[in-house]
Structure 1
Amino acid sequence: MQPLASLLTPERTACQLPGLSKKRLFESIARIISDDQFSLSYDEVFAHFIAREKLGSTGLGDGIAIPHCRIGNCSQPTGALLTLSEPIDFDSPDNQPVDLVFALLVPEDEPQQHLDTLAGLARLFSQAGFCEGLRNARDQATLFRLAIEAEAVAP
Structure 2
Amino acid sequence: MDLSKVLIPGAVRVVGQLTSKKRLFQELGEVAAQAHGINAAMAIDVLQERESLGPTGVGHGIALPHGRLEDLDHIIGVFLRLEKPLDYDSVDRQPVDLVFGLFAPKDSGVDHLKALALVSRTMRDPAITATLRANNDPAKLHAILTENRTPQAA
Which bin holds the TM-score, normalised by the shorter protein? over 0.9
Match for 1:37: what amino acid? Answer: H
| 1:18 and 1:86 in contact (8 A); partners too | yes
Paired residue secondary structure (2:111): helix
Q: C-alpha offsets along residues 64-106 of structure 1, whole Å, 9 cap, x if unaligned?
A: 0000111111110000111000111111111010000100001
> TM-score scaled to structure 2, two decimals?
0.93
Aligned residue number for residue 9 of structure 2 = 10
Aligned residue number for residue 24 of structure 1 = 23
Aligned residue number for residue 119 of structure 1 = 117
Q: C-alpha offsets along residues 22-63 of structure 1, whole Å, 9 cap, x if unaligned?
A: 11111111001011222x211111111111111111000000
Q: Do residues 54 (structure 1) and 52 (structure 2) align? A: yes
Match for 1:8: what amino acid? Answer: L
Q: Which runs of 5+ in 1 are unaligned?
A: none
Root-mean-square deviation (CA), in Å? 1.3
Aligned-residue offset at 1:152: 2.7
Aligned residue number for residue 90 of structure 1 = 88
> TM-score scaled to structure 1, two decimals?
0.92
Q: Which runs of 5+ in 2 are unaligned?
A: none
Aligned residue number for residue 32 of structure 2 = 33
Q: Structure 1 segments of 4 or more deviating over 6 A?
A: none
User: What percent identity do the matched residue pairs reach?
Assistant: 34
Match for 1:116: what amino acid? Answer: K
Aligned length: 151
| 1:124 and 1:154 in contact (8 A); partners too | no
Match for 2:2: what amino acid? Answer: P
